[in-house]
Chains A and B, each alone.
Chain A
Amino acid sequence: MEQLKTIGRELAMGSQGGFGQSKEFLDLVKSIGEARSKAEEDRIVLREIESLKRRIVEPGIPKRKMKEYIIRLVYVEMLGHDASFGYIHAVKMTHDDNLVLKRTGYLAVTLFLNEDHDLIILIVNTIQKDLKSDNYLIVCAALNAVCKLINEETIPAVLPQVVELLGHSKEAVRKKAIMALHRFYHKSPSSVSHLLSNFRKKLCDSDPGVMGATLCPLFDLITNDANSYKDLVVSFVSILKQVAEHRLPKAYDYHQLPAPFIQIRLLKILALLGSGDKQASEHMYTVVGDIFRKCDSSSNIGNAVLYECICCVSSIHLNPKLLEAAADVIARFLKSDSHNLKYMGIDALGRLIKLSPEIAEQHQLAVIDCLEDPDDTLKRKTFELLYKMTKSSNVEVIVDRMIDYMISINDNHYKTEIASRCVELAEQFAPSNHWFIQTMNKVFEHAGDLVNIKVAHNLMRLIAEGFGEDDDTADSQLRSSAVESYLHIIGEPKLPSVFLQVICWVLGEYGTADGKFSASYITGKLCDVAESYSSDETVKGYAVTALMKIYAFEIAAGRKLDILPENSVIWHMECQSLIEELSASHSTDLQQRAYELQAVIGLDVRAIGSIMPSDASCEDIEVDKSLSFLNGYVEKSLEKGAQSYIPENERFGMVNISNFRNQDQLEVTSHGLRFEAYELPKPSVQSRTPPISVASSTELVPVPEPSYYRETPQTAPVPSSTDTGPSGLKLRLDGVQKKWGRPTYSSSSASTSNSSSLKVVNGVTQVDGVSSGNSKTHETSYDSRRPQVEISEEKQKLAASLFGGSSKTERRSSTGHKVAKASSHASEKFHTSKSTTIYSADNAVEKPNLVQPPPDLLDLGEPIVASSAPSVDPFRQLEELLDSTQDPGTFGGTKAPDFMALYAETPAGGRSAGVALPLSLNRDGDNLIPGLSNASSNTVHGGTTVTNPSQISKGPNVKEALEKDALVRQMGVTPSDLGFTLLLFLLRSRYMEKATSSAAPAKIGGGGGGSRRQSDLNRSFKLAIRSLLTSCSKQELAKAFSNFSNAEQESLHRLFIQDEFESLCLETQVGTALETVEQLVEEKNLDPLFSEKSNIMDAVQNLSMAKRNEIHYLMGMLEKAEEQNRCLQDRVELLRQKMPDDSGISVVMEKFKSGILSYGTCSDGI
């Protein structure tokens, strides 16, 4: 009876709490949860392990209890302790017939065992059995285990059954079977090579889940061999199309997006299939474009799909339209506040940069910001991008940055990576020998032992070979600057071993080559090194060999006496003692080197000259493998009656085996010392590398090709990036002047204007080119919320140096401007007014003329013009707007000169004022000129307005505006002028923004678009005015522009206010606030206890209040009820009083009744 009771209690407990968990386990979990330190946690777990060890082996444990033990084991193992003593019990549990136990067993086994564990052989049988089970849940559990546990050896045991399951009626089983086959393919491709057609078949499975799962193995297959699957391109495209068109069941939607995970996988596959295949790519353009358009960029998953689209676009055959769409998305990513999106944007930029380098230019400042972000992840990603876009013009800045960062971090793994990147970039693009050597020194100093030894070997080789040019003086300069800097550094304490090896080798080889340093000085230094790093044998070896070389060179040069000058007995003694010490060294290598040294010194000049030829490290050594020089000797011996040599295999008659052995031996020797020339590196890495030899060096270290990671060049044509291609491992001394993106102005304008006649994007830019003499006014979008102060000059300088030296260009163009200004200030006016009239007259034919300003006249140097054009054509918008204004022709011609007169006094601003003019002209008919004068009023207002504009401009312009800012600063213009410039830019940008935003309706609505836009504009103006009339006093404006009419002042005022309004909006950061709110709401949804947790007191108070209210209410109800009751009673009372009357009535009734009756009878009687 007692027993039954306990069982009952246990069962009850099991049923109400978790199934089969005891108090002990809860206690364990609780105590671990409460543990304050790792040590305490470990103690608890160890105690638990002890008790489990004891109890798990007790005989006759009930199965349910066993299950709990197993789960406790899982828990222990999860906490990082060894639970291997219980594995066997988990395996046993998989044999159980009860599904619950079996699942637990499988779960534990998959968590415990790796695929190479010995116990797996015990499970295979169970798995086989379970795969045949009728219950699909058991089959699923078994397949889960198959995916984790089956290794190469056991694949054949389950393969037939898994293949059979591909036709199972349950889709869950089919899916898992596919994944299992995928796993097999991973483990051993040959095991399933005959089954690959199954994957193709399953692509057409009726269940989208199975289809989606099939994409996993197909992706891997296509990665390995894209060509055999080209026939599937059409199917993939059509599947993707269907998915994107929402044809899959609703269940596959994720955050309103149709099956995004499947889309992503398909895009990945398409990227592989379309890579370098124009025909296949053409199939994809439409669907990828569709996804670009449809995808919702507000959700994270939407952005994931968009990112995948970018990857796809960058991989398949180039399509300008898609590229444009991708660039737009990148711009959105980079402008976003989310670090995640910025990260993805930087990554995507790195992918596109190979195809169109100018995209990065638009985002210079965004990239710089990411580089200086406190977020390490983002920083590293940005370094990766910089690495990809390095060329000779910006290598110095980038490598310096990298080294600074390298010094600042502790993460050895990343340090190694960034160090090798620095080295690679330095080798490829170094602008000068001196810089190269300095950079290498820095890298070795700070990351020395982390650097791959190959890097050191490579450096030695570079110094030995020079950089490929047949310019001996350059090479020797490089060497002597290396020697000099090494002699300088060598005294520093604790240099990394690798670096010392390089130093020793270079000093030995070239220390005395240019005669600047005496042999005695260098040998002294080398001895110092050998002594101070006495524990490092490799360094010592290098040092001794270097000593030997120097002595040999000296002797060969006939300066024997120099080695033993009387005044340097000490160092020589030092050296002597070093050699003596080493010849008794434990290391045979050092010993040998020491003896060799002594032997070499004793030889005569001629012998030394041939043993140790000077500067011969690059010469080839021919190894005579057949030993032909012995032929004479052999023949002589044979003549004398010696036996001829019988090869080993013939001697033993065991042809096969000895053949085998021979091969082995060959292999062995090839792994040992190698005397042939170094292998030629792969062509993709180096275009030309003369073989190096180890003629004079005894360090027989094979130097294989450098193995750093390199971008394999994209197959798609890379239009204007002359510098980005792989260019061998030489120092690039040429092309330093070349900049990012399009190298010259003329080519850029040519290419943009040629690209399509419709695209007059640059019309705007070019206009300002004409009117201002500065072509750099082009607008690009940029994060608007960044206040101006943040973008320091330093940053801009950095941007400039990274992205093609815009500061240099600006300086140059500014001088150009000065020249132009002097000569054509008047003509400038003329240009402006002319250009406006031209545009207002809507004379499209004139455009090309304006588009191409004569470069010689303006002396533009290398402006980054037009390469960063916004995708929507603002110029056309402008024209359309013009059409809709009532009288476009007149005001442009008449009022522009007025304006010009105004701004002529402010030369710096004037340049850009010219830009703004035509734009604001079209902005809103009458507002035009006042608008401009308003802009100049900002000049008067000075400081306050200067900061505003940068915040305002949401449009694509701030970056350029800021560049302008920098330029202006460089020119030494006063801040008020600067404000003027900026504001004008912003006005213009506002316009552009409006134009772009209304682009879509304009396209759809055709002719009607213009007026609608205008009404939109009007409405927004009105709104702004209403809300902000107080922010800018009209009087001030009036004062500033007394020469304008009232109406003009009025509209000027309006214009200004609108800017103010938006800036306020941005200042108050409405957007971010909303986002935060959204985030909070989301968190709260996931965190139901959030509010209660945070303020329980409030909750309690609320609750009691509510209760009190309820009580009040109930009391009221009660009272009401009582009152009613009373009323009723009164009524009853009343009724009772009336009762007598009632009885009278009844009497009357009675009477009536009887009367009627009697009447009846009477009538009857009648």
Chain B
Amino acid sequence: MIQFVLLISRQGKVRLTKWYSPYTQKERSKVIRELSGVILTRGPKLCNFVEWRGHKVVYKRYASLYFCMGIDQEDNELEVLEIIHHYVEILDRYFGSVSELRPWFIVCELDLIFNFHKYNAAYYALDELLIAGELQESSKKTVARLIAAQDSLVEAAKEQASSLSNIISQATK
């Protein structure tokens, strides 16, 4: 079972957290602090796995972002590494299809954050992929479809807003 998901920037700034086991705020900060200390200092050619306080943590770096997942002892590390990649591919696909924001997501220092609507999407995508610490869906297509369905609602709201603003701007001219 996956205990937590962390996204940390190369500078050690937290970008996204999701905890599947109960951690107090204090424990969370501790995990983040100590783990980023361990992971960020690791060389590029080493294992993508770290053992930390009896947990196994699998991490992978994409550009300036580190994706980390804390897992149980008996979990398959390579599989989790691929779950991370799977998630990244989903995000990549999502951001690629929604807008030209794709490079932002991966590259920019402000990456996920800049556009908070997109930021939520990172959470929503994670919710479609993992639930209660288990992989619930391994088909990229299905996940993408669900996120799109949810997005369409947002889009509808947006359109409404923009047409409204048009009307208003015309009216106030």
Contacts and interface: CB of A to CB of B under 8 A. Distances in A.
Chains A and B belong together in one complex: yes
Interface of A: 1, 4-5, 7-9, 11-12, 14-21, 25-26, 29-30, 32-33, 41, 68, 71, 75, 77-80, 82, 99-100, 103-104, 107, 111, 114-116, 137, 140, 144, 147-148, 171-172, 175-176, 179-180, 182-183, 186, 208-209, 212-213, 216, 249, 251-252, 254, 259-262, 264, 300-301, 303-304, 307-308, 311, 339-340, 342-344, 374-375, 377-378, 380, 413-414, 417, 1083, 1086-1090, 1093
15 contacts: A8-B164, A19-B157, A20-B117, A75-B113, A82-B25, A100-B157, A103-B124, A114-B24, A137-B153, A171-B142, A249-B139, A340-B47, A374-B46, A378-B47, A1093-B107
Nearest to B141: A251
Contact of B13 (A33, A111, A262): A33
A15 B161 contact: yes
Contacts of B14: 78-80
B66 to A, nearest CB: 14
Contact of B117 (A21, A148, A176, A1086): A21
Given A304-B79, A1093-B107, A33 B113 contact: yes
A144 B131 contact: yes
Contacts of B141: 251
Q: Which of B28, B76, B115 has the most CB of A within 10 A?
A: B76
Summarize A's interface: helix, strand, loop or mixed: helix
B116 A413 contact: no
Nearest to A101: B157
B36 to A, nearest CB: 11
A375 B51 contact: no
A1089 B134 contact: no
A1087 B76 contact: no
B165 A26 contact: no
A301 B79 CA distance: 6
A100 B154 contact: yes
Nearest to A213: B136
Nearest to B149: A137
A251 B77 contact: no
Given A19-B117, A100-B157, A30 B110 contact: yes
A805 B83 CA distance: 42
Given A304-B78, A413-B53, A33 B109 contact: yes
Contact of A343 (B23, B24, B47, B131): B47
Given A251-B141, A264-B79, A300-B82, A172 B146 contact: yes
Contacts, number: 226
Contacts of A254: 82, 86, 138, 140
Nearest to B21: A114
Contacts of B25: 77, 80, 82
B74 to A, nearest CB: 9
Interface string B133-173: 01111111110001001100110011101101100110110
A375 B79 contact: no
Contacts of B115: 17-18, 21
Contacts of A107: 120, 123-124, 127
Nearest to A375: B46
A418 to B, nearest CB: 12
Contact of A414 (B16, B51, B159): B51
B10 interface: no
A308 B79 contact: yes
B77 A344 contact: yes
Nearest to A151: B22
B44 to A, nearest CB: 10
B120 A104 contact: yes
A29 B139 contact: no
B165 A264 contact: no
Given A80-B28, A209-B142, A300 B78 contact: yes
Given A19-B158, A179-B136, A11 B168 contact: yes
A209 B137 contact: yes
Interface of B: 13-14, 16-18, 20, 22-25, 28-29, 32, 43, 45-54, 62-63, 76-79, 81-83, 85-86, 88, 92, 102-103, 106-107, 109-110, 113-120, 123-124, 127, 131-132, 134-142, 146, 149-150, 153-154, 157-159, 161-162, 164-165, 168-169, 171-172
A26 B114 contact: yes
A182 B134 contact: yes
A100 B116 CA distance: 14
A1 B168 contact: no
A1083 B44 CA distance: 13
Nearest to B80: A304
A14 B78 contact: no
B137 A213 contact: yes
A171 to B, nearest CB: 8
B22 A115 contact: yes
B48 A340 contact: yes
A442 to B, nearest CB: 23
Contacts of A116: 22
Nearest to A36: B11
A320 to B, nearest CB: 25
A78 B135 CA distance: 23
Given A8-B168, A251-B141, A307-B76, A300 B110 contact: no
A873 B18 CA distance: 52
Given A8-B165, A80-B14, A144-B127, A1089 B120 contact: no
Contacts of B83: 261
Contacts of B171: 4
Contacts of B20: 148
Given A33-B113, A300-B81, A380 B51 contact: yes
Nearest to B24: A114
Contacts of B139: 208-209, 249, 251-252
Nearest 9 interchain pairs by C-beta: A304-B78, A8-B168, A15-B162, A18-B117, A11-B165, A251-B141, A261-B138, A12-B165, A80-B29
Given A33-B109, A82-B25, A260-B82, A339 B45 contact: yes
Contacts of B32: 80
A212 B32 CA distance: 31
A380 B77 CA distance: 15
A359 B152 CA distance: 56
Given A19-B154, A71-B116, A339-B48, 12 more contacts: A18-B116, A33-B110, A80-B28, A137-B153, A144-B131, A264-B79, A308-B76, A339-B46, A340-B81, A342-B47, A413-B54, A1088-B107
A1089 B103 contact: yes
Nearest to A306: B78
A574 to B, nearest CB: 45
Nearest to B112: A29
A107 B150 CA distance: 13
Given A80-B25, A307-B78, A1093-B107, A8 B169 contact: yes
A259 B13 contact: no
B100 to A, nearest CB: 10
Contacts of A259: 138
Nearest to B85: A300
A212 B138 CA distance: 8
Contact of A111 (B18, B48, B81, B107): B18
A722 B73 CA distance: 29
Contact of A14 (B43, B52, B109, B158): B158
A259 B142 CA distance: 13
B78 A301 contact: yes
B172 A5 contact: yes
Given A15-B162, A176-B131, A262-B138, A1087 B82 contact: no
A11 B172 CA distance: 14
A1015 to B, nearest CB: 39
B164 to A, nearest CB: 6
A377 B81 contact: no
Q: Which of B107, B131, B154, B159 has the most CB of A within 10 A?
A: B131
A644 B101 CA distance: 91
Given A79-B14, A147-B131, A209-B139, A12 B169 contact: yes
A301 B168 CA distance: 54
Contact of B107 (A251, A260, A261, A1087): A1087
